[in-house]
Structure 1
């Protein structure tokens, strides 16, 4: 995402804003657009730009875009944000503390950004298989992003693990690059859109390995093969591959949420109200990291963007209410 013009400057002064948005996926970028249009001084702090949206090979269900690469849609979001004068700071957030009736964001580079409200759009992390060889070979054939690493496997053999839309789209994307793609899923049926299922089943380069799980990733310096077990018979076999792309869902940033005092549900996501407010006054959580009974039930770019807009509206009303209280 280096094509974006981002703020990576360093400063020791305390930076004052109305709202700090943490995260620059569809929820965070959408929130920033609405906040800026409300006239609030806003900044985005994020470790990267685009979130999981930017790693999608193709997005074919965003209204007005019949088919668009995830990176392109992320670019459009960012350009919209920048056109409204909202800076995007690429940095890691170390801590969030209450100081003098404001929330202060402390970053890894030493920046301190304080605001009346904070919107956490921190997304979720890739879920791992948890099998031998996975951690050791990350970056050496083990990947969680087909668009990022797929081009490295031109005319080679790869495996994709998963049964949802992300796995299906990744397999189809990789089939245009690799010589062969094994699509491994623990169940007999896929959970993704039927149009993707049909394309994968009919693609000459994709071989389905169903009702099977990966039990080990093999290789000394790089991925050389995977061990796969049939969940019904227990039979194991070795499949020679040069890379494995793991697309089995995500998990929330539970530890970070708990560190700053946000209550989480049984899944580890923040418990939010209909307006994305939390138990911490002035802290809102939106997108993939939001949970509880008010969690949206369909994880898509469009629902994340809508969720960001809801959080922005709530933050605006929260700030108005508190400023009036200060003046009276």
Structure 2
């Protein structure tokens, strides 16, 4: 039995761990299948307060983890494959076999990169198709790559990749969805070219892996090949909520719904923070802030539960 179990170790989960550990709740943090979250695949973080010269993503996550450990948070490898929220204590299944009981649960399992879902894509991930520029960009030094998407993530990936390669941004609309500052930064980069208003149809590969992306012109219907050495998919993320099996209310995209202004879900004692419940901002600093909210809400819940149990004991 644990007072609180935290699922996930991105900025939200680690901030929640720091706060709950300082409150002497001895949290158990389950690291998940991507310890440290998405920031571990980010090079330089320029917009996290307190780092005027920027900080490397993995370094920031490592510092957060060590800070949580300093106050007594316990970490274990593995990821949640199931959870029973129908009764207390809550029962969390880790890696299909281990079961942990908890008085409260903080869900900060984040979101995972989406794929296009076209023929040839999935089977060539790791063979020229990637969802992480900072992980794989180095392998394309002096080569040509495609970046698929039109949002902030795509612009960030494209700009980063120009350190190594010539980049072509491919987007299914004529207009980009990225913020103005990110668009301007990409537009001004001489190593980025543009193929807009086309729909990706198929990944073309041979025995060595990715060779080209077949696209259809949305205006003419004409299909053509965009030849390159690699392709980076940057079209958004899917919240990691499958293990909940519908036990918590989510929006149409699968993001967990919380009571406005709090980290509380519809089930008392269950809290959600970070990208698993935030489809709008998706920033490290907002994730960390929501992790703080979840920890404080969790602490109050446990205090109130203890007070209630004590009052029931007295009444008997």
Shorter-chain TM-score above 0.5: yes
Q: Secondary structure in 2 aligned to 1:214?
A: strand
1:161 aligned onto 2:148:
yes
Residue 2 of structure 2 corresponds to 17
Q: CA deviation at 1:59?
A: 2.4
Is this contact kept in 2: 1:62–1:302, CA < 8 A? Answer: yes
1:41 aligned onto 2:26:
yes
Q: Which structure 2 residues correspond to residues 118-267 of structure 1 after superposition, within 5 A?
A: 118-178=105-165, 180-221=166-207, 222-259=209-246, 261-267=247-253
TM-score w.r.t. length of structure 2: 0.90
Is this contact kept in 2: 1:91–1:109, CA < 8 A? Answer: no
Q: Secondary structure in 2 aligned to 1:270?
A: coil
Q: CA deviation at 1:109?
A: 6.8
Query: In the TM superposition, what whole-angstrom CA distance separates every residue of 1:49-72 from its partner, at most 9, and x where no partner exists?
Result: 221222233322222224333222
Query: In the TM superposition, what whole-angstrom CA distance separates every residue of 1:98-133 from its partner, at most 9, and x where no partner exists?
Result: 598312322117433322100010111211111111
Query: In the TM superposition, what whole-angstrom CA distance separates every residue of 1:36-85 from its partner, at most 9, and x where no partner exists?
Result: 12121101102222212222333222222243332222222222222222
Counterpart Cα distance in 1 of 2:173 and 2:86? 51
Q: Secondary structure in 2 aligned to 1:312?
A: helix
Q: Which is worse superposed, 314-323 or 277-286?
A: 277-286
Q: Which runs of 5+ in 1 are unaligned?
A: 1-15
Q: Of residues 297, 300, 304 in structure 1, which corresponds to 2:287? A: 304
**Alignment CA distance shift 1:75-1:213 (3 Å):** farther
Counterpart Cα distance in 2 of 1:307 and 1:287? 6
Cα-Cα RMSD: 2.1
Residue 314 of structure 2 corresponds to none
Residue 86 of structure 1 corresponds to 73
Q: CA deviation at 1:138?
A: 1.3
Counterpart Cα distance in 2 of 1:92 and 1:272? 22
Counterpart Cα distance in 1 of 2:60 and 2:130? 22
Q: Which runs of 5+ in 2 are unaligned?
A: 312-316
Q: Secondary structure in 2 aligned to 1:227?
A: strand
- Superposed structure 1 runs of 4+ greater than 4 Å apart: none
1:271 aligned onto 2:257:
yes
